[in-house]
Amino acid sequence: MASAFSALRKTVVFMVTGVSTCYCTLRFICGLGKCEDVSMEPVIQHGDLVLISPFYVNHQYLQKGDVVFCRSPKNPRAIICKRLVAMEGDCVFNGEKGFEEYVDKGQIWLEGDNKDYSIDSRTYGPIPYGLLISKVTLRLWPPKRFGFIELPEQLKKPCST
């Protein structure tokens, strides 16, 4: 009886630890995400499976040109996939409104690669850093386009401020 109880206790302890370790790994280090968005074509296409790393966001290792998952500022339950174009302290040219905007402290500027089909910072302005979820590091599926997400050749030049 006692040994059965201890075996049961061991099983429960290891199951709880295993499940929560999996959860923490997926939540804080790296997880899988399916992108159902056309705004990052051709880099990430509709239905691609990608590896996402919240680690880069939590510890602020992001750099300009990274592709990120972010919560939509208009709708907290929607996710958007965009490219990080400017970070705090930069000036960025807003191609839709036709003037330069300053990205304030603690904020970021996101734009999709597919300019015609992307609702992004050009419409709603710079958004807070806290809305970011994760960085997109690796494209897993489909297999013929497997590989790291590369930075664009020319990053937009920030003005001298």
Give catalytic residue positions: 39, 82
Confirm or reject binding of residue 36 to other proteins (CB under 8 A): yes
Residue located via tokens 């061991």:
10
Confirm or reject binding of residue 131 to other proteins (CB under 8 A): yes
For residue 9, give both structure tokens: 């206790």
Burial of 29 (0-12, 13-18, 19+ CB in 10 A): exposed
The CA distances from residue 148 to 99, 129, 139, in Å, are 33, 23, 6
Task: Give 10 or 157: the residue with its C-beta nearer to other proteins.
Answer: 10
Confirm or reject binding of residue 60 to other proteins (CB under 8 A): yes
Q: Which amino acid is at 118?
A: S
CA distance 117 to 41: 9
Confirm or reject binding of residue 141 to other proteins (CB under 8 A): no
Q: How many residues bind other proteins (CB under 8 A)?
A: 35
Give the one residue of 130, 146, 151, 157 binding other proteins; rule: CB under 8 A.
130
Confirm or reject binding of residue 37 to other proteins (CB under 8 A): yes
Residue-by-residue DSSP string for 93-134: EETTTTEEEE--TTEEEEE-SSGGG--SHHHH--EEGGGEEE
Segment contacting other proteins by CB under 8 A, of 9-17, 48-56, 89-97, 141-149: 9-17
Using the 8-state DSSP alphabet, how is residue 29 labeled? I
Residues 99-128: x where in contact with other proteins by CB under 8 A, - otherwise, as a string: -----xxxx-----------x-------xx
Residues of the shown chain interacting with other proteins in the complex, contacts defined by CB under 8 A: 13, 16-17, 19-21, 23-24, 27-28, 35-37, 60, 71-81, 104-107, 119, 127-131
